[in-house]
Amino acid sequence: MRAIVDTVSDCIITIDSNANINSFNPAAEYIFGYKQSEVINKNVKMLMPSPFKDKHDSYVSNFVETGIGNIIGSKDAMAIKREGLGERKDGSVFPIEISIGVSNLADGKMFTGVVRDISKQKQIEQLKRNFVSSVSHELRTPLTAIKGSFGLITSNQFNLQINEQAQSLLDITERNISRLSNLINDLLDFKKLESDMLEFKFSPILVSDILEDGVSMNQHYATESKIVLKLADDIISGHVNADNIRIAQVMSNLLSNAAKFSPHGGQVIVGAIRRDRMIRFYVEDKGPGIPEEFRDRIFDRFTQADGSDQKKQGGTGLGMAISKAIIEKHQGVIGFTTELGKGSTFFFDLPILKVS
């Protein structure tokens, strides 16, 4: 066991019930800059910056007394990974990923912490964010001008004589400009969500308006995929407190995905039902269903199904992650049900608003 602990690349530290360090492997020496002899029998909070070190002893004692902790896993549960900050011997602070497990020994509890320095990962993530933001902004300005110009041409503002073949090419170009614009907007919206800078303007909205607007504004997906978008037979009454633009964005994401995976000639049903104090909006398709291995990653960022259908349609892989963030800002939840070979139903629940 000592040979294993001494040769792994992860920092492994054990502490006792008083939060004193019992062991400190070579990887920990390398990451934190201390020799084992400098830390043994000293409080582990010496490896933490403020304000974490100021509260650490109370966290450990509370867990010893109650068995409840936010970071420390229970004896029978797998340790949960968390992100935090560490402090090296030279005083420098760096981001870490940490998981802490607990074992019951004859003379008390032993806590085992596995720590990874994630400085490089964080730097790479920041570089990616900066790159995406820069490219997206640089693309948006000329694309807006192109989109406006094409709008003037296709609406025949200049009384141009355009034959049928040319009109078809213009329509294709305009659709692809809109698709590119949506991709850029996804990237910018996701950056704003990460920075908590996406603005929301809430107001009472009729359930029926959300459903009807969703169908009417997304008919182009039905046309492109040769399917039918249809409202459910029973349109319930009621209001929700929502940002109309953002909820329309969520509906568009759900409907575009349903259209992509629906068979030609199929139907996508859009509706809403009451569930206790919530209203559930749903989009139901008759597509192939979602593979088991992909279901727990549906709402992850930059995630797409591995099927060839999705690859043909393209996308940023951000739509569902953005939708989840938007619904959570509305104090709601988003989810789905699916069955292979029979289809999927995506839904989001919003609190019912009482309007006087």
Q: Which fold has domain 121-194?
A: Helix Hairpins (1.10.287)
Residue type, 70: N
What is the per-residue pLDDT across 233-255, written as a single tens digit (0 to 9) for each?
888 889 999 999 899 999 999 99
Q: Which helix (H) or strand (E) holds 139?
A: helix 119-154
Superfamily of domain 203-353 in CATH is Histidine kinase-like ATPase, C-terminal domain (3.30.565.10)
The domains of the chain are located at 2-117, 121-194, 203-353
**Distance separating alpha carbons of residues 147 and 168, to the nearest angstrom:** 16
**Are the C-beta atoms of residues 115 and 30 closer than 8 Å to each other?**
no
CA 341: distance to chain centroid? 27
Give the tokens for residue 154.
Answer: 């296709």
Q: What is the average pLDDT score of the chain?
A: 84
Helical axes 319-329 vs 244-261, angle rounded to 10°: 140
Give the tokens for residue 275.
Answer: 């569930």
For residue 214, give the nearest of 346, 124, 342 by alpha carbon: 346
268 compared with 101, residue with greater pLDDT = 268
Q: Output phi, psi for 107, to 5 deg.
A: -100, 15
**Distance separating alpha carbons of residues 72 and 126, to the nearest angstrom:** 29
What is the per-residue pLDDT across 45-76, written as a single tens digit (0 to 9) for each?
999 998 877 777 676 766 666 665 656 655 55
3-state secondary structure 307-322: CHHHHHHCCCCCHHHH
Q: In Å, how far are 62, 96, 116 from 82, measured between CA atoms?
A: 19, 8, 11
- Band (312; pLDDT cuts 50, 70, 90): very low
Distance from first CA to last CA of the chain, Å, rounded? 68
Are 2-117 and 121-194 the same fold in CATH? no
β pairing state of 228-231 and 239-242: unpaired
- Band (306; pLDDT cuts 50, 70, 90): very low
Residue 151 is predicted with a pLDDT of 77
315 compared with 329, residue with greater pLDDT = 329
Please state whether 332 falls in left (phi above 0), alpha (psi between -120 and 50) or beta.
beta
Report the chain's C-alpha Rg in angstroms: 27
As a residue count, the chain comes to 356
271 compared with 192, residue with greater pLDDT = 271
Whether the predicted model's global pTM rises above the 0.75 cut: no
Superfamily of domain 2-117 in CATH is PAS domain (3.30.450.20)
- Of the candidate ranges 57-61, 127-131, 158-162, 285-289, the one whose mean pLDDT is the lowest: 57-61
β pairing state of 267-275 and 228-231: parallel
Q: Which helix (H) or strand (E) holds 336?
A: strand 333-339
